[in-house]
Structure 1
Amino acid sequence: MRRLLLAGAAALMLGAGFGAGFGAGSAEAATFRWANDGDVNSMDPYARNETFLLSFTQNIYEPLVRRNRELKVEPALATSWSQPSPTVWRLNLRQGVKFHDGSPFTADDVIFSAQRVRAQGSNLTSVLSSVKEVRKIDDFTVEFETHAPDPIFLEEITTWAMMSKRWAEANNATQAVDLTTGQENFATRNANGTGPFMLASREPDRRTVLRPNPNWWDKPEHNLDEVVFNVIGNDATRVAALLSGEVDMIYTVPPQDTDRLGRSGNVRIHQQAELRTVFLGMDQVRDELLKSDVKGKNPFRDVRVRRAFQQAIDLEAIKARIMRGQSRPTGLMIGPGVNGWSEAADQVVRPNLDAARRLLAEAGYPNGFGVTMDCPNDRYVNDEAICTAVVSMLARIGVRVTLNAQTRARYFAEILAPRYQTSFYLLGWTPTTYDAHNTLYNIMGTRGGSRGVFNSGGWSNARFDELTNQIAVETDAAKRQQLINEAMRLHADEVGHIPLHQQVVVWAARNNITLQQMADNYFPLRYVRVGQ
């Protein structure tokens, strides 16, 4: 405890220069302490296209347009926009905005950010995949010219934060570094945004402290003078910290503890269906799997094997036993709330062990085979437990699965490495545009350039890619839905991936905490208030 107090005091001293004067003399100003089971891994907003990292860094950095409480697009660093032509978006920038180091935000920073987000090392290359050119008109006007009409352009850039050209150049951070390689640069542990909070101190895998930005352009809705984020990997310890008052909120709530927390009297449970879909992927590219006892060939290239895996997995059992009812089994790679989802198309595959065994035998594996499954243990709700259940279910059809569960940093370094060092894996995806195209393009599309960056299994279908291209530019809603339905049917017929469920977002906070829970699992600190 003494070490914790000393560390907190050090964090306060480090942050004093950033937040001096904010809330001085205000009885309402408060410290907000929260915890998660895993860390942010980087302060660079382009380091990884992952919800938790993007959510955390958007408290420091800001996009041109952002989501409001209802997840609708609203102005942020851009105050307005227009379309001079079907392929040109003109954005007017907010004047008088300053970065945390005091330098002004201008069109030069937008041009620089566009170059940086598309450059090597960035994990967010897809956000500008439809853009042909970014032009500076004047210091506070920029134009984005797209290759073709892009009906969801604004939604696509809500996760793209602006960075300071001058700061990045001065600190040799003009390019993001690929987290899968373990490299770092100045932007990995330091930050300089325009957002409501400023980075005061950073202790990777332990604690990060933020202080309010006293010169933020927007009107603060929070009453915070300090935010302390703690990494508490152990579920029981994290829950105990909330119940004892050591932390005010936990972001990842173990399903088995939800009822107990709700009955405690001092804690409020916040929950709603999430837009994220959790799924399984299989290497369908290599001639021989990296992590299997099958030599000279790749079982996952045979659709019968992929279908056998799918028919061996009982989604309702996972919902009941692992997720404690906090999931929605799905047959699609997108769920309700995502534009393009169709209830008619969302047909859950029921388990059929006899059919699965027959399919394996027909494919040449009557006695099954062995394969390693890569899984995170601190990224999704009950992720390791889900993977353990899948291992047991596949054993019933003779498949011998070795589970390799790791922290998110090590896990992502393998499955998102340049050559995708995985054979069988669990992953989750929230389409940041809340549109099906985002998942089709990033998760299911053929790997190449910015397309299919997160398609670690490498499933590929030329007709599917053609449909995805049409969906990107189709402005007629009915026609666009037909294209989405066809693409989803193709993927389901070939079992490109095995969708499992949409998890329920469950947060827990003490009764004196007011916050805004989002269906995309983003946690905007600007909405947090601490009461007496």
Structure 2
Amino acid sequence: MKFKPTLLAAALALACGLAQAVTLRVADVGDVQSMDPHSLNETLQLSFTQNIYDPLVSRGKDMSLKPGLATKWTQTSPTVWRFELRKGVTFHDGTPFTADDVVFSFKRGASEGSDMKGYTNPIKEVRKVNDFAVDIETNAPLPILPDTLTSLFIMSKKWCEENKAERPVDRRKGIENYASFKANGTGPYRLKERQPSTRTVIVRNNNYFEKFEGNVDEVIFTPIGNDATRVAAMLSGEVDVMEPVPLQDVERLKAGGFTVLQGPELRTIFLGMDQKRDELLFSNVKGKNPFKDVRVRKAFYQAIDIDAIKSRVMRNASSPTALMVGPGIRGFQPDMNKRLPYDVEAAKKLMAEAGYPNGFEVGMNCPNDRYVNDGPICQAVAASLARIGVKVNLQTETKNTYFPKILRRDTSFYLLGWTPSTTDAHDAISALMATPTDKGQGQFNLGSYSNPKFDELAAKIASEIDDSKRNAYIREAFKIHADDVGHIPLHQQALAWAMRSNVSLVQLPDNRLFFKWVTVKAK
């Protein structure tokens, strides 16, 4: 049988294309919990889904704002911003992207079950101007509005309605829907395969509106919770990129010819305490809540040996902190970053003054596959608190069960990490420290710390356009929170990613990985 020259050429071209397809194999300590971009405001979740979905405003390699699905934005009044939308964009199923999808996505992000209410909380209304323009009106002036939109991804109104996914799933209730396992974005990659807790595969979207800087056609993402197993997979060639690198294996991987990228992360690791319930859950104290007493909170703070955690648990790959935001975040106050001294005797005295000379029992919730050495950190905290008579009943578990539990506030004492996606202090002030409301403020203030004066300052910080005044408000808010011991900040952890020598990528300080920037060279 003879092939026509044109058919033969086409067949050869196809074969060459297939032969040159580049696959990137990525391993992480935990899994992406859902394909729904509005269901969980967690870094790994957002890092992965940002490759499938796009926001109106994106970030560049230097963390500066850049056009996403919006090509430009202008402030038309103190409370109104107009966003001009990108034309000619289609979702992965071929549906054209329009302003209707933007209006729908913001409404969805503000709906029941959404974890994105912290971003939609300041917004009064999103109005369609025409098919390729929307006006976003805020409740009060919000000069950092574009910064707040980088993590709110746009979904297809038509697709969500057709598949009964008009609202995001509520991770607190363990509910799933079509968008939990399927995806239809405008992003650089399309979802090909989803096997929760096993592997997720995405492939290049050849209709993407931006030029690819990398050459990766397919990404196979595999969660490997065990540190030794993850490192073994790297050493054996089963994966090309892994994160995080166990601190004890950094030098071993470097010696093996692998590239290990290390750098400061914008994330702050901290402890939260239930300050709302009249009787503390998971405790032997009945009829009252010790954490309502600032002396108890301060005693816990001063009993924790942060230097031991830094040297022994974190192998010096952490920076102890007194603030809920770290360097690199707009509004960080370096001169205020002074922790209360580690002082067991002072802590014992405070406990006695508060009426607990012999301490008490308390349950503590902690993930073991989310942050760097999260389980060992909590064990070290428990050991420190034992010195003041506090018996910590520690429960460590996978983040898949940990997050739903603490997000429904079924906790007394917990560990959490936070990276302000806006790179601005107001993000942490509003989400972590302000009094929780049903509109999204304080959505991750899981211990319900509350101070009316702090809330007043949070509102001023959001709307103030004068930098010096805004900075003064931030300082005052930080001082109030520190004096109240609203939370117990621990440290900023360091990033550690490993990759094969033929892989090049961009490590951002918010710990997000854009696959469109990854290049895999032929060996």
Aligned partner of 2:474 among 465, 476, 484: 484
**Is structure 2 residue 431 aligned with structure 1 residue 442?**
yes
Counterpart of 1:432 in structure 2 is 421
Counterpart of 1:388 in structure 2 is 379
Kept in 2: contact 1:28–1:531 (CA 8 A):
no
Give the counterpart letter for 1:111 in structure 2. V
Counterpart of 2:311 in structure 1 is 320
**Is structure 2 residue 53 aligned with structure 1 residue 64?**
no
Partner Cα distance (2:343, 2:28) in 1: 37
**Is structure 2 residue 499 aligned with structure 1 residue 530?**
no
Q: How big is the shift at 1:349?
A: 2.1
**What SS does structure 1 have at the residue aligned with 2:403?**
helix
When residues 319 and 22 of structure 1 are mapped into structure 2, their CA distance, relative to the original with a 3 A threshold, is farther
1:155-194 → structure 2 map (5 Å cutoff): 155-194=147-186
Aligned partner of 1:120 among 112, 118, 122: 112
Kept in 2: contact 1:414–1:422 (CA 8 A):
yes
Q: How big is the shift at 1:237?
A: 0.4
Deviations 1:429-486 (A, max 9, x none): 1111011111000000101121111011111000000000000000010110000000
**Structure 1 residue runs of 4 or more that deviate by more than 3 Å after TM superposition:** 21-24, 26-29
Give the counterpart letter for 1:423 in structure 2. S
Counterpart of 1:247 in structure 2 is 239
Kept in 1: contact 2:118–2:442 (CA 8 A):
no
Q: How big is the shift at 1:29?
A: 3.2
Aligned partner of 2:458 among 468, 477, 495: 468
Kept in 2: contact 1:370–1:400 (CA 8 A):
yes
Q: How big is the shift at 1:350?
A: 2.2
Counterpart of 2:10 in structure 1 is none
Partner Cα distance (1:222, 1:199) in 2: 18
Kept in 2: contact 1:61–1:162 (CA 8 A):
yes
Give the counterpart letter for 2:517 in structure 1. Y
Give the counterpart letter for 2:443 in structure 1. V
Partner Cα distance (1:432, 1:73) in 2: 12
Kept in 2: contact 1:54–1:159 (CA 8 A):
yes
Deviations 1:325-384 (A, max 9, x none): 110000000000000001101112221000000000111111110001100000100000
Counterpart of 1:305 in structure 2 is 296
Partner Cα distance (1:26, 1:93) in 2: 35
Q: Which moved more, 1:188-197 or 1:254-263?
A: 254-263
Counterpart of 2:392 in structure 1 is 401
Partner Cα distance (1:327, 1:28) in 2: 41
**What SS does structure 2 have at the residue aligned with 1:373?**
strand
**What SS does structure 1 have at the residue aligned with 2:335?**
coil
**What SS does structure 2 have at the residue aligned with 1:90?**
strand
**What SS does structure 2 have at the residue aligned with 1:25?**
helix
Deviations 1:287-332 (A, max 9, x none): 1111101111111011000000000011111110001111000000
Partner Cα distance (2:249, 2:370) in 1: 18
Partner Cα distance (2:484, 2:494) in 1: 28
Kept in 2: contact 1:311–1:349 (CA 8 A):
yes
1:24-423 → structure 2 map (5 Å cutoff): 25=17, 28-265=20-257, 267-417=258-408, 420-423=409-412
Counterpart of 1:9 in structure 2 is none
Report the TM-score, using the length of structure 2 for normalisation: 0.96
Partner Cα distance (1:119, 1:412) in 2: 19
CA-based RMSD of the aligned residues comes to 1.2
Partner Cα distance (1:25, 1:354) in 2: 69
**Is structure 2 residue 463 aligned with structure 1 residue 498?**
no
Deviations 1:228-256 (A, max 9, x none): 00111110000010011100010211111
Q: How big is the shift at 1:26?
A: 7.1
Identical residues among aligned pairs (%): 55
Deviations 1:376-426 (A, max 9, x none): 000100000000000100001110001100110111111101xx1000000
Q: How big is the shift at 1:198?
A: 0.4
Partner Cα distance (2:45, 2:15) in 1: 28
Q: How big is the shift at 1:28?
A: 4.9
Partner Cα distance (1:156, 1:36) in 2: 27
Give the counterpart letter for 2:293 in structure 1. D
Kept in 1: contact 2:26–2:221 (CA 8 A):
yes
Report the TM-score, using the length of structure 1 for normalisation: 0.94
**What SS does structure 1 have at the residue aligned with 2:172?**
helix
**What SS does structure 1 have at the residue aligned with 2:334?**
coil
Q: How big is the shift at 1:59?
A: 0.2
Give the counterpart letter for 2:384 in structure 1. M
Give the counterpart letter for 1:317 in structure 2. A
Kept in 2: contact 1:87–1:145 (CA 8 A):
yes
Partner Cα distance (1:271, 1:129) in 2: 35
Partner Cα distance (1:321, 1:385) in 2: 10
Aligned partner of 1:455 among 445, 452, 467: 445
Partner Cα distance (2:323, 2:343) in 1: 19
Partner Cα distance (2:75, 2:362) in 1: 51
Partner Cα distance (2:251, 2:312) in 1: 15
Counterpart of 2:3 in structure 1 is none
Give the counterpart letter for 1:427 in structure 2. L
Counterpart of 1:16 in structure 2 is none
Gaps of 5+ in 2: 1-12
Q: How big is the shift at 1:224?
A: 1.4
**What SS does structure 1 have at the residue aligned with 2:336?**
coil
Give the counterpart letter for 2:450 in structure 1. S
